[in-house]
A and B are shown apart, each in its own frame.
Chain A
């Protein structure tokens, strides 16, 4: 777009120079071939007289898209041209200014009612003169449609379904005919399920509204700008109008899936012959429920070293909703010293996929502690003191 602007600008500058040069040249040559350029503002229903040409602004089709509709005709001639003009693009009418016609350019679209334009024409056409068209003067019994498109959510994830509702309402005071809805071509980011393309009643009485609903499923992640929906309709004189809805932005997040996190709270080293409890927490950190969760433990060299007393390290849960957690525990008795590697494996389903998570930890069973060893030195000391005391008593007179 910028390039186009640039080109237009260059063209403009060039043409201005050309005009100047032409003007300089025409001083000596034919003054009739001289081309002049004038700017003027127009309201819907207004016109401009330039020589025998009449330029009338029929409507502003879209402010956003920079489209207006103009009617250009020439007095006492066959020439009549209806055209939708694009902002900043030169349009030649009746073969353009060079050939004795008009070249029009939309410079600015102020709002739905007013634009600023430039016209190029032979200098001898004189100054442009504004006038009010018959249509503007005529009582306005016209249809006017309002279009809006809404979606039920603007932030979704891949795989989520979105419902779009297109509402068209006739807020004018005449029947809107030949109503058609033009949605932008199907967006690649969605799969369309039902109701697409949306259809609206052919005719809408003043005050009447209609809506069309369609649903689609997000297919790829990213930010999607749903373009405006355009409704076209005609009034009783088959004059064609259009209305557009504001555009909508939808964020599509990556697909939702459960994500289980296994957290093990292993026991402090278990004393020989003592007990230790292993607490397991299964948390769903994802954004979808995990189903059919099965946790299985493998204890290396299980046998008689670690004896299960209570509970189990194997567990299963039908569902762990997102953000929720489940805990369970198992109590073991350490009957042989050593380090036991425990591997916990959780398998679960989410959105038809099988997923797995693993975690490993160690349970240490300490060497047998000979506690009473500490008392051992006390025994001889005690025996000795008793012995000494008895001896002392025996000899104390």
Chain B
């Protein structure tokens, strides 16, 4: 059985973590925590970390003892420097809280890339985890901002992505709010939908890694996939509905852009891939699976295949890392532009202020 640590940092991370916890109750009902029990496929410890108490209070499905408030800070106001300082000040307390939860094989550190708290804590937490746990696989789940959210968010995303790349994580799973915006009109429901999607996929992944698979894929394979390419990738998912019960269309569905959390052309951009198929015994045909994956494997070489026998309609999760991330590059470009703009605006403003001050140069205050 895998020992899994899930950290949700910052508001975004917290809320995805809450979605994970809710998903584990098996129902979508708001009251499920009162009558149901959390059913994690593995031993899963969840911990929501935030500098803003209000964000923690907002959570519904995460137990109180799994919400860690980092004191003396009421949010960092998207300021990553303050965030980092906050982490250093409270590092032992935070890490102790994590270590108290035992040993882990794999950790998911979930955060938005653009906020203050999450984006500044996450790289440092990843680093600490790697330091403190010998054989841990640490995967960061980074949520990219809506592009129109403003220059600070863009900057934060750009710098935090760099930070997370610098620490030796075992991989980054990208979730792009901008890309997933199409799922809903208003932001609140969009957030909820995105969070649910992420939660569902990660839980599916854990479950699959922890099951007896027909075709061998394990944590090692997952790590191999995540370390491929740029060390960052995303997750695709497809669940057959009544109309499309064909295994082939399900597998293909999990690779189509519409099934991904981050916009990519899997066939063109993917570096390594793993496809996990879950379904009832009679619905799974190894030959058909091999055939369906063939198109991808001819492009990128070996595709790890996992097959899990489980009652229900076929579900497919694709995990892959990318060799190129054009959208992220664009984000960087935007961020750089934004920084440039900010800089010139600042110097302009400074200059205007200096000009204004020039009026009172040599003057004394008279009363």
Contact = CB atoms under 8 A, between A and B. Distances in A.
Interface in B236-276: none
A395 interface: yes
In the complex, which of the residues A387, A396, A397 has the most CB atoms of chain B within 10 Å of its own CB atom? Answer: A397
Contacts of A353: none
B56 A391 contact: no
Contact of A397 (B33, B34, B57): B57
Contacts of B60: 395
A14 interface: no
Contacts of A392: 34
Nearest to B64: A397
B67 interface: yes
A159 B298 CA distance: 138
B61 A395 contact: yes
A395 B56 contact: no
Contacts of A395: 33, 60-64
B59 interface: yes
B34 A394 contact: no
A392 B63 CA distance: 9
Interface string A364-397: 0000000000000000000000011001111111
Interface residues of A, number: 9
Given A397-B56, A397-B59, A391 B64 contact: no
A380 to B, nearest CB: 13
B67 A388 contact: no
A388 B64 contact: no
Nearest to B53: A397
A156 B64 CA distance: 103
Interface in A137-190: none
A388 B61 CA distance: 14
A391 B34 CA distance: 6
Contacts of A391: 33-34
Contacts of A396: 64
A388 B57 contact: no
Nearest to B69: A397
Contacts of A387: 34
Contacts of A397: 56-57, 59, 64, 67
Interface string A81-94: 00000000000000
B30 to A, nearest CB: 12
13 contacts: A387-B34, A391-B33, A392-B34, A393-B64, A394-B63, A394-B64, A395-B33, A395-B60, A395-B63, A395-B64, A396-B64, A397-B56, A397-B64
Given A395-B33, A395-B60, 12 more contacts: A388-B34, A391-B33, A391-B34, A392-B34, A394-B63, A394-B64, A395-B61, A395-B62, A395-B64, A397-B56, A397-B57, A397-B67
Nearest first, the 7 closest Cβ-Cβ pairs linking A and B are: A397-B64, A394-B63, A397-B67, A391-B34, A388-B34, A397-B57, A397-B56
